[in-house]
Chains A and B, each alone.
Chain A
């Protein structure tokens, strides 16, 4: 219990505390922020111990939160969430370490580290959440925190655009996911992931709509085509943020969601088609877009999109080998891509630009950064002995024997091979363009290798990328196998052994073809660029996801003014007309819920002569108030209505009300007469008949629905309040014979005190205002 709470909640505590200290003691800001990942990692180590001791199944830690609503905070600890927890906290640690070198002295460190650590906590919430709604809340928190991180340099237009885009797309996807969760919860009656995983045949009960909505959540977060458009714009964030959110964690939340739901929805007939289709399209589209980018971070962003597509494709294929492959590739990609982002950050920091056209033979001036970049890139190209080679082989192997939709089986190996070649090609370009080739322009600064500390974080990551390839056993039994078991549904232990060398087989042949083809295409890169540019030129006028997004935003921002102005035009009486019409409509809507059986309307009997005549008098005087043109007749009519209502209170057996009403009515009339003395005569402004008819129409509509509602309500005798208690205790407790009095001065004494206070306050206000009016008279008009 304690360790999981610390792992998830401690980052939030740090996130709240950091802004207070960071800007006052700038030198310690990073070290304070580092507390969060360090403590979380330590808690995770303890948790790992608890979990191992408990047999490495699924552990549940829960405590109730809103018991009346059936909400609880429960954490699901199994192989998958443990693995993700270590991934998030581990990368966060390196990112904070690196940020300390990257950020300039004058930046707002408190805001930076605060949001960064809050993001880390939200991610922890996502991966450990058991309840669907807790998962959703954490999920949206990652969107919100990333919004602030992408827009960290809030004086840049592009950063604002990027952060808004990311928030709208990922936040919107989260809402779709929530709708999917609600449908899922209703279909199965279960809201806990742990129970859903244990339940059999969930996929059969879930509608296609629920399935698509949940996948939509994953697809937007993981930047799958056509929702990938937010990721390149999110590169406006400081580079460590890009490395953290947009390579290792946030975009992978979608992958986590798919892995988490694989045992629940993997059997769904649409899973293979939708998920493979999504992944494969994204993998190829991302790769091609990367080839056309010139900003190093954009090259990496599109590369990330492509790599996410690869992992999604794995999950789409399904089956043991594919799940192991996807799990392992998460590590490979997180390590290599975060390292590459950090190296880009270093290049940016040292040369002042990220535009590859301005970077000239950097390998000569930044040899150490160059070596790290090469090692990271060849891991993702899939060259032994790097970890990426293993997963690339596995992907090829899976594509030959896919578990997905059978009828397309013949295409998968070819498509996968094409995607692999494109992947290798854009990674070669990522290396070649800045490090190996001459520049078209000159960079602001010549650039040189940075300090060792700056290189430490990427170096650690590259070392890990090598370790995952050379000695996959390091993570195989501890993380990969339990995570894959959990993804496959938690049944039984997996027996497999990862190794670099599998002998000469089809995947190896495909790997060799990949590297050879990519090498050839890189040699002829001008051709490739020429073809891509020509296609882009042709498609310039065609539709695209970015155009759709910008168009939608334009419509929302600009085209909605007429609607807004027509609803909120500042015309008080229009608002009033709405306020009158809507309640009447609501009453009508409520009428639909009623049981229109026999005897729902009251009988036309039981009226006394006095009662009936008083009612008629009230009605006539009320209408007269509305219709009399002069002010004095109107006041008198209002007074008549008031006194008649006092008599009606007598009929209704409310003597106290009758007395009060008489006194208050007298006072009101005097007040009205006083005020009207100063106000001008009511001039009836000639109004078109249509306007009058409209006003009367609304008024009669509201009046008629109130009358009908009242008749229905009074006829149902379910309105007895707590009156019995008052009757039985009025005398013994309060000493009153008059129960209304007892309520006013005793049972609800504080209420009456409040009422008197209101009266006094309004009296004071009236007095003050009248004095102002008096001074105005003395000064201005001179009565």
Chain B
């Protein structure tokens, strides 16, 4: 069985049932269910979540992208600094990247003050952090492969040869 195919289907819609996947791939339902269970167990499938347009849902929130320059020292590498950062619940994501900065951190907060406080008080003061550069998110167009803008209605003719 092609497990990558199962993953592609679930990545697009995590609610697709093993029964539906089995039909799509021409496999037996119990084999698909077993493959999914195994991938859940060994961490290939980490968990399932929902893509929410929080803005549409009326929730006030701000995101800020922070580029962080780090000075690693003996015994305190990038991983250690990153861990100090990613353990905060308001940290949405942390990446080690190439280029002028070392870590790219995304922070989520209720408002600008909230986020500014976190950067000034928590992030900048961490040992090993040399400098930061913050950019506030103004509008989300696409995230994790999902469009956050309304797409135009289908223009195809209803019946064509």
Co-assembled chains A and B: no
Chain B interface (Cβ < 8 Å from any Cβ of A):
none
Chain A interface (Cβ < 8 Å from any Cβ of B):
none
